[in-house]
A = this chain, B = another copy of it.
Amino acid sequence: MKKNYEFVKNAAGRKIPTEVNGKKQVPFQGVHGYKPVGVKAAPLVSSCTDYPMDGNKVLPSIKAALKQAGLKDGMTISSHHHFRNGDLVMNQVFSAAAEMGVKDLMWFPSAAFPCHEPMIEHMESGVIHHIEGSLNGPLGRYASEGKMNGLAVLRSHGGRWQSVQDGEVHIDIAILAAPTADSFGNATGDRGPSTCGLLGFGLVDSLYADKVIVVTDNLVPFPCIPWQIQGQNVDHVVVLDKVGDPEKIVSGTTQLTKSPDRLFIAELTAKFVQAAGIMRDGFSFQAGAGGTALAFAIYLKEMMIEAGVKARFVRGGSTKYLVEMLEEGLTDYILDGQTFDLDGVRSMRENDEHVNTSPFTSYNWHGKGNFASMVDVVVLGATEVDVNFNANVVTHSDGQMLHGIGGWQNCLFSKCTILPIPAFRDRIPVIVEEVTTIVGPGELVDVIVTERGIAINPLRTDLIEATKDSGLPIRSIQELKVEIDDLIGGVPQKPKLTDEPIGIVKWVDGTVIDTIFKVKSEK
């Protein structure tokens, strides 16, 4: 069933298909090049006349709710990923759809996890036509092998909001798993046996989907407070025994890196932030929940205490390390998009200064501004960076699509974007001549920190000037690359790619920045 694609070259010099999954695509036109014209998607007008006056929207099962919502062939079913690898709902949803004999569905999760491996069967049987959303683990492999009917469409968290808001993706039925809810559909993530913190990734679904089904295992009397999801946007409520596996939803403790190299990189990153004058009273930062990013936050915290500096806000993904900063008075606020551990969940529930955000407030490029560009410094990962500072997070140097974008593209707009990365992974250099997939344009990547030195983007003369006498090992990216390549004995071979696309990468404005091609098999 291979399709013939027409390709055009976009402003990043990449070959991208003109049409994907039946929809015309707009090529990337530069970071600020594309201006949307027109209006947002317009959801259907409802009437209270069609909803129970006593507010009770509970139906007996997922299947009953799907029937009531009018599930039929070709529809788009969406879900959020706040339960991460502990989600017990979506496999049940697609099993019910299969039992109902429905075909050609599009699944539109904010991310899929290894627990969703059963979806492969549904793709094989035709219940699911294809998936648009971050594909981690087995689903990523399946798509990488070109087995999916239709291409993977990788979007950032902000890009997912933008795509729904702008009507690029129309959601027929949204399934919103909720740790606590009332019978009217008000729902929250910050309490209940399957607590996950917040439900922000499902917010846009609740606002724009034709039908919204809340699925919970903890029904409380009206009103469910807080109402992260508002019942006025919800059609049906289903109560299950268990919607999530708590241990897989939040890890309890987040793992700090133990690698001496990574610890060194993290410390170097913190030192750079201080040397560049970013770490000052009232500043802000965002760091992920990866081992290096966590170590960075801990080093930075020590430096803040020593210097007597207090942040105005830190962005989560929250962990116990950020919560400690809040509770020790080192920041006024945590602005949080997802909680990574139980301390994060507890703090969100207990501290008024631990504030929920959504992809709308944080990342949506088609709003009247968003928070990402107001953050003083953000620390992110990457699978590859090239000598023009272009960076990749979705494919490995072997060409396999193995990661989603998350908020990564959106965060690039911070005032200073730093990628702390090891010089090698499995003896493959991370700094390359040209990235396999451009996910972030080089002009937005400011600093690369490796264990062999720090490279500052030549565009950031201000940072170069600020740190020139810092004593930090600042070097050119070319110099770093040569040294690393020499150490492993020359530039490694690039993966051989076919001309068959298996996915595309959207930029934050909905244009296509790159294509992921299938890797040539060895035989």
Residues of A within 8 A of B (CB): 32, 35-55, 57, 165-166, 184-185, 212, 221-223, 225-227, 230-235, 282, 312-313, 333, 335, 352-353, 355, 360-361, 364-371, 373-374, 413, 415, 509
* C-alpha spacing A49/B46, complex, angstroms: 34
- The contact of A370 among B222, B232, B282, by CB within 8 Å, is B232
Q: Are A44 and B48 in contact (CB under 8 A)?
A: no
List the B side residues contacting A223 at CB < 8 Å. Answer: 312-313, 333, 335, 355, 371
Q: Are B36 and A47 in contact (CB under 8 A)?
A: yes
List the B side residues contacting A335 at CB < 8 Å. Answer: 223
Closest to A364 in B: B232
List the B side residues contacting A51 at CB < 8 Å. Answer: 368-369
Q: Are B225 and A368 in contact (CB under 8 A)?
A: no
Q: Are B333 and A368 in contact (CB under 8 A)?
A: no
Shortest beta-carbon distance from A282 to chain B in Å: 7
List the B side residues contacting A50 at CB < 8 Å. Answer: 35
Q: Are B184 and A234 in contact (CB under 8 A)?
A: no
Among A185, A222, A223, A230, residue most surrounded by chain B Cβ atoms (within 10 Å): A223
- The contact of A368 among B42, B234, B313, B509, by CB within 8 Å, is B234
Given contacts A230-B361, A355-B223, A373-B53, contact A39 B44 (CB under 8 A): yes
* C-alpha spacing A49/B50, complex, angstroms: 41
Shortest beta-carbon distance from A312 to chain B in Å: 6
Given contacts A223-B355, A374-B54, contact A185 B48 (CB under 8 A): no
- The contact of A42 among B40, B47, B232, B233, by CB within 8 Å, is B40
A-B contact list, 8 entries, CB within 8 Å: A35-B49, A38-B44, A41-B42, A46-B368, A55-B374, A221-B282, A223-B313, A226-B355
List the B side residues contacting A38 at CB < 8 Å. Answer: 44-45
* C-alpha spacing A36/B43, complex, angstroms: 13
* C-alpha spacing A370/B49, complex, angstroms: 11
List the B side residues contacting A230 at CB < 8 Å. Answer: 360-361
* C-alpha spacing A48/B159, complex, angstroms: 13
List the B side residues contacting A509 at CB < 8 Å. Answer: 47
List the B side residues contacting A53 at CB < 8 Å. Answer: 373-374, 413
Closest to A46 in B: B368
Q: Are B54 and A43 in contact (CB under 8 A)?
A: no
List the B side residues contacting A313 at CB < 8 Å. Answer: 222-223
- The contact of A55 among B166, B212, B360, B373, by CB within 8 Å, is B373
Among A38, A54, A225, A353, residue most surrounded by chain B Cβ atoms (within 10 Å): A225
